Amino acid sequence: MTDDAFAALTTEAFRPELAEIDRQPTLEIARLMNAEDAGVPAAVAAQLPAIAAAIDAIAARMSRGGRLVYAGAGTAGRLGVLDASECPPTFNTPPEQVLGLIAGGPSAMVSSVEGAEDSKALAAADLDELKLTPDDTVVGVAASGRTPYAVGAVEHARALGALTVGVSCNAGSALAAAAEHGIEVVVGPEFLTGSTRLKAGTAQKLVLNMLSTITMIRLGKTYGNLMVDVRASNEKLRARSRRIVALATGAGAEAVEAALAATGGEVKPAILVVLGGVDGPTAARLLADAGGHLRAALASAVR
C-alpha cells in the first residue's frame, strides 16, 4: 500500500483537536477516550443486517459439520484467536470447530512477526493445512480492510468454495469486496492516530462476539439465554452448571444434583431429565435425534 493510500484510511486519520492530550489531566484524558469509545456500538448497529446475514449463512454450514475459521494479523488476529479459544468452554464445541489463524503463527500472539501480515501466500498455506471444505467459513478480520494476510485468506477460501466473511473498519475495503459477506464497521479516526487496537479493536471484538454467540444460539447451544452446553471443567463451572439446570427447570438442589448425576454432569440432558421426565440415556437419545436442540427434544419427550 502506498503512503498516500495508507493515509487516506479513516482508521489512520489524524485528529488535530486531540493534538495536545498529553497536556491534559489524566481524568480529562480518560473522559475524552471514554467519549470516543461510546460511539463504537452505534457503528456496529449500522452493520446489523450484514452481521445477521453472515450469521445465518455460517450457521447453515456449521449445522452440516462445517468449521468457523478466523484469519487476521496483529490485533485482529489476536481477537480471532481469543474468540475461537472461548468457544469450547462456553459452548462445549470441539477445539477444531472454531479456529483462529494469526499471521506468523502462535508466537505472533505475544510478539510481532515481521512481514507475516503482508503475505497472501502465507494465508493460503495456513488454510491449506486445514483442508477447507465448502461447509467451512473463513472470516477475514482487518481494521484497514487491506491487510494482505486477511484478504488473501478470504480470496483463497472463496476459491475453494468455502463461505467467506470480511470484517473491517473502513468503507469500500478490499476485504469486504473479496468476501461474500462484507461487514464494515466505520468507527472513525482513533484516539491515538493509527492505534487500531482501540476503537477498531473494540468494534471487531463486538462483531466477533456476535458471529460466534448468535451462530451457537442458532445451532441449539443455548436454551433461552442459558449456556446449556457449558463444559464443566472446574468447580466454578460445575457450580454454574447446577445453577443453569435450576434456572431452566425450577427444580430444587436435590433434583438438580440427581439429574446431573444421571447425565454425567451434562447440563442439556439434565434439563431434559427434569422437564421431560425421562432417564439419562433417553435424554441423550432424544437430543441426538433433535440435532442437539433442547426445545425440539423436549417437544418429543412430552408427546
Q: How many domains does the chain have?
A: 2
Give the tens place of pLDDT for each residue, 23-50.
999 999 999 999 999 999 999 999 999 9
SS3 content of the chain, % helix, strand, coil (to 5): 55, 10, 35
Residue 224 is assigned to a structural domain of this protein: no
Active site residue 266: no
**CATH code of the domain containing 150:** 3.40.50.10490
Which of 215, 227, 173, 254 minimizes the C-alpha distance to 11?
173
Cell of 133: 471444505
Q: 164 near 154, Cβ under 8 Å?
A: yes
CA angle 21, 22, 23 (to 5 degrees): 85
pLDDT at residue 114 in the model: 65
pLDDT at residue 232 in the model: 78
pLDDT at residue 2 in the model: 55
User: What is the distance between the alpha carbons of residues 295 and 190, in angstroms, rounded to a whole number?
Assistant: 44
Residue 229 is assigned to a structural domain of this protein: no
Residue 109 is assigned to a structural domain of this protein: yes
Give the tens place of pLDDT for each residue, 93-130.
999 999 999 999 888 888 777 677 889 999 999 999 99
Identified catalytic residue from 12, 20, 36, 86: 86
**Same domain membership, residue 142 and residue 96:** yes
pTM of the model: 0.91
Question: Which residue, chain included where needed, has cell 438442589?
Answer: 253
**Same domain membership, residue 150 and residue 12:** yes
Low-confidence ranges of the chain (pLDDT < 50): none
Identified catalytic residue from 28, 96, 114, 117: 117
The boundaries of the domain holding residue 86 are: 7-218
pLDDT at residue 205 in the model: 97
